[in-house]
Structure 1
């Protein structure tokens, strides 16, 4: 396959052409927003119909689960030797479940700190890049970081003007 040369000349030659491109981008954005809104409406409709179709099944499943639980509780004496009863289509049983219940998180957290039980406190650590921007370069280099500046291109669409034209 032969190589193709790409021209180094810009595709746009005048500011009017740039302005036309901005208008086209705005119109495309508007069409995309309409498509996304239509998509979201369809998704919402599918979710609603799925929820309506699933509700009777979920209610039936919940009723069956409650019936199994009631039967197992009524026959709890059979679970003294074995915690689980295997059946053809599954198994039922009882397990000891232990969980910590906290009434007031702030009070419990402060009490853990006061008792120096820091191993019971989760702390998420991460670099604060905004604060690091204010550090001297020597300090940034010492901690293995650097500043990167770039001249980023951007554009802004005047949506009101496009709406008036459309």
Structure 2
């Protein structure tokens, strides 16, 4: 038996049907907005409730943590090395080292210059990317010469008039 090719026929046959489809899409979008709005209200309520329920517990943890820190600081010399292991956890001190870079751009520029002079370029982050929006402004010939290509296509879009539909229902 020979294969038959079935041509896809558009479901919508005229502009009135397209307009009706857009109306239905807008109605469904409005319903989704309402569902998501209710969901967000419920989530916010649950977050507030959980926060209120957890607050006394977190406050107690913070207070106990401060008390533990104060005690361990006063008895630092009793630690075995820098750590004391107890039945329900461990306490101690560790040396933390961090490099502080000033926020002023001029100071950062001076540091970078100084790093370059000292050949410490492994300490400098350099990120290079292609700015497609700027490249797009050049001619197609230039774009091809640098190894990129220009893709042109008609992209379908639609937009519903939700506000108009909302006004009709009010």
Q: TM-score w.r.t. structure 2 length? A: 0.83
Gap regions ≥5 residues in structure 1: none
| DSSP 3-state at the match of 2:17 | helix
Contact 1:109-1:121 within 8 A present in 2 as well: no
Paired residue total = 161
Q: Which residue of 2 aligns with 1:109?
A: 108
| DSSP 3-state at the match of 2:85 | strand
1:45 CA displacement: 0.6
Report matched runs for 1:77-92 at 5 Å: 77-79=77-79, 82-92=81-91
| DSSP 3-state at the match of 1:85 | strand
Query: Relative CO higher for 1 or 2, CA cutoff 8 Å, sep ≥ 6?
Result: 2
Alignment RMSD (CA, Å): 2.2
Gap regions ≥5 residues in structure 2: none
Distance 1:98 1:116, change over 3 A: closer
Which shifted more, 127-136 or 83-92? Answer: 127-136
Q: TM-score w.r.t. structure 1 length? A: 0.84
1:122 to 113, 122, 125: 125
Contact 2:101-2:108 within 8 A present in 1 as well: no
1:150 CA displacement: 1.1
| DSSP 3-state at the match of 2:84 | strand
Which shifted more, 16-25 or 70-79? Answer: 70-79
1:138 CA displacement: 4.7
Report matched runs for 1:2-151 at 5 Å: 8-79=8-79, 82-117=81-116, 118-151=121-154
Q: 1:82-115 CA deviation, whole Å, 9 max, x = no partner?
A: 1111112221111111122344342331211332
Q: 1:13-47 CA deviation, whole Å, 9 max, x = no partner?
A: 11111111111111111111111111111111111
| DSSP 3-state at the match of 1:115 | helix
